[in-house]
Structure 1
C-alpha cells in the first residue's frame, strides 16, 4: 500500500529475538504471542545470518567443571603448603634430639645409645638399662631452646629438668642426605657423657659397686665410669678386711664430671687382727735372721772385729713392740709404734785373742709402716725403715 506508514525496510529489518540483550524492548508486534510463528530466515548480512554465529552462554556443566578445577587447584596449593610444612617440621634437626631425650626419660638407655651412635666397651658398666634403672635424679623432662641449622651442620640447645633444676645441654648434628631430594636428613652426633668418679682410700685394684655394677680401681685407687645424667649410689667391697660408708655420685647433665666421691675405708675387726699378725710376722722374721744386720728390718747390731770370725749369730726378742693401725694414708693403713720392743744379739767368735761370745743389746725394735693390702694369706705389712738406718743400734 502506498498511503500507509513507510515499510520499505520490511520485516527483514527486525532483529532476531535471540540477538536481543539487556533492556532493549521488542517492537510491539514481536511481543504479542503468535499462534503459529513462521520460521525466521534472516537475510544475508543481517544479524543472525549465516557466517555470524550468535553468542551463546556457558552450559551449566561447563561452569561446574571450571569451578571444580579451580577448587582442585586451590586444594592442591593448600595441600602442597601443608605437606611442605609437615615435611620441614618432621625433618628438623631437633627431631633426633627430641627422640634421644625421650628414650633417656623413659629409661630406654640401649635405644638412646643406638640412636646417638655411642659405642660401649666392657668398662662401661653404667651404660646399661639395668644400671640406669637404679639411678636417681634422672632427666624427667626437656625443652628445646634453640636450633641453629645450617646446610650440613646443626646445633640444638635444650634445658633438661633434673632433680628439680634446669640443666643446659647442647647437641650437634650432621646432615647425611635428603629425603625425596628436598628435606635434609640429620644424624645426632654422640654427645659427651658425664662420669662417675670414685677414689677409694684403700688398696689398689679395690672393687667398687656403682648402681649395683662392679668396677675396679687403678694404681691410684681411682675409677671413672661414663654415665648418663643422674645420681648413683657408690660403695666398696673390702670383703672381711675393710669397709667404707656408702656415698652418692651426682652426674649433672651431659658432658660434665661430678665431684669425685671419696670412700674412706676403715679396717674391720678381722682386718685389725690380720694387720697385727702381719706386723708380728715381720718382727719375727727379723728376729729369725742369722745376721747382725737383718735385711729390711728396723734394728741391727754393729761393732764387730774384722779380725774375728763370727758363727751362731742369733737374735732374741725380749719384748714385742706395741702398735696401732690407723687410717689410710698415701701408702696404706698407717701403722705406728706406740711402745718399742727390744731384742738382743749374740754370736760366737774365734780370732787372734781366742774363742768367745759377743753380745749386743738390748736394742729397740720399732714396727712403724703401712698395711698395704690383704690377700689369701692375710694382711701385707711394709716397714717404714730398713736396716735400722734411722734407729739406734749397739
Structure 2
C-alpha cells in the first residue's frame, strides 16, 4: 500500500503554465510518498508542542537550582568571618573611631582620651590600607589574619571572632572580639602629676610622673608646657600596630633662666631658715652643733652664717632637679650657759653648710627646695 500525504483533492485537475495550450496533453499527477526512517510501526511521531513543553519543564527545574547556588554563594560570602574585620579596619582607616569601637565591642573609659575621632585625626602614621591573608572558620570560633600598611611598612595583625547567631537559620553571624589596642607611654622627667599634651589632649601624669594611654596604631605628638619655670623638647610616641606598646617617650625637662634663679633663691631661703633656728640641731638642715653639757642650762642660742654655699642646678633626678653644692658654706653656733662651773659662752664652728638636694616643684611663689642631707648626717659638727 502506498501512503499518500500532503495531497489536496483537485490539484491534479489544475493545469500548469505550459499546458495552457490546446495541443498539449495534461501530464499525470505526481504522487509524493512520505516515510520516517526513525518511526516505528504503529507509533505516532512526537509533536512539536510536546517537545517545547518538555524543554520548558527542564528549564523550570534548572533555573531554581542555579539561582539557589548563586544565592548560597552570595550568602556565604556576605557571612564570612572576614566581613566584620573588613568593616572594622575600614572605619579605622577613615578615622571613624566611634564606629570602630562599637563594632569591636571596645569599651572606652574615662582615661581613654586618645580613643576619639578628634584625637585620632591629629595622629600621624596611621593605617592607610589592609589586606586579609587568611580566614580560619570553625563552628563557633574564627581567626582572621591581615597585614596592615602603616607608615610605609607592613604590620601583621590577628583578629578573633565568635559566632553570635545565624541568619535565616543557615548562615553564621560573626562578632569581632575586642582586639588588644596599643598604648602610648609617657614618662615626664619633671614634677609628678604634671599636665602633658598628647595629640593635643591634656593628660595628667601619676605620682611617678608617668602616663599610659590606650591608642590605635599611629604616632602621637607629645608636648609639655612648663610655663616660665622649665621647658621640654617636643617628642612623638609611636604605636606600631594593634596590641603593641611603643617605646616609652621620656620627656626631659630643663629649667629656664627664671627657673634657675628661682631655684637659687629657694636654696638661699632654706639656708637662711636653718641659720635662723635657735636649735643646736636645726630640723631638716645639713649642719648642727653637738657636745652640750647636760649639767648646764643654755640660752641665747644662735647661728651665724659665715659663708653662703654656692650651688649649681642640673637636670631632673629621682626626686627633682638636682642641686649640687659647688662650694660649701660655713656657720658658727653660739649660746650662753649657766652651770656648776658658773656662767659662760659656748661656741661651735665653723661648721660646713652643705646645700645639695632637689628642686621638687614650682608655684607662683617660686621653687621648692628639699635638702639631701638632714641634721648633718654627712657633715661634721663641733
What aligned pairs does 1:92-171 form with structure 2 within 5 A after superposition?
92-171=80-159
Q: In the alignment, is the contact (CA less than 8 A) between 1:324 and 1:335 conserved in 2?
A: yes
Partner residue, 2:314 = 326
Please list, as runs of the form range in 1=range in 2, the aligned pairs for 1:123-272 lying within 5 A after superposition.
123-272=111-260
CA change 1:135–1:32 in 2 (3 A) is closer
Please state whether the residue corresponding to 1:75 is helix, strand or coil.
helix
Deviation at residue 62 of structure 1 after TM alignment: 4.7
Specify the alignment match of 2:19 in structure 1: none
* 2:294 match: secondary structure: coil
Could you tell me which runs of 5 or more consecutive residues in structure 1 were left unpaired when the two chains were aligned: 1-13, 15-24, 36-53
CA gap 1:31/1:170 in 2 versus in 1, 3 angstroms: closer
Q: 2:325 is matched with which residue: 331, 334, 337?
A: 337
Deviations 1:314-360 (A, max 9, x none): 11112211111101111211101111112111111111222222222
Higher mean C-alpha deviation, range 238-247 or range 68-77: 68-77
- Displacement of 1:244: 1.0
* Partner secondary structure for residue 387 of structure 1: coil
CA RMSD of aligned residues (A): 1.9
Greater Cα offset, 60-69 or 88-97: 60-69
Deviation at residue 242 of structure 1 after TM alignment:
1.5
Structure 1 Cα separation of the partners of residues 106 and 67 of structure 2: 39
Query: Partner of 1:73 in structure 2?
Result: 61
Alignment of 1:308-323 (within 5 A): 308-323=296-311
C-alpha separation in 2, matches of 1:116 and 1:32: 84
Equivalent residue, structure 2, for 1:26: 3
CA distance in 2 between partners of 1:72 and 1:234 (Å): 69
Report the TM-score, using the length of structure 1 for normalisation: 0.85
Q: CA separation in 1, counterparts of 2:191 and 2:91?
A: 39
> TM-score if structure 2 supplies the norm length?
0.87
Q: Mean alpha-carbon deviation: is it higher for 181-190 or for 258-267?
A: 258-267
Residues 34 and 386 of structure 1, relative CA distance in 2, 3 Å threshold: closer
Structure 2 distance, partners of 1:79, 1:31, is 47
Alignment partners' CA distance in 2, 1:236 and 1:334: 20
- Residues matched between the structures, number: 351
Instruction: Write the distance in 2 (CA, Å) between the matches of 1:33 and 1:316.
Output: 154
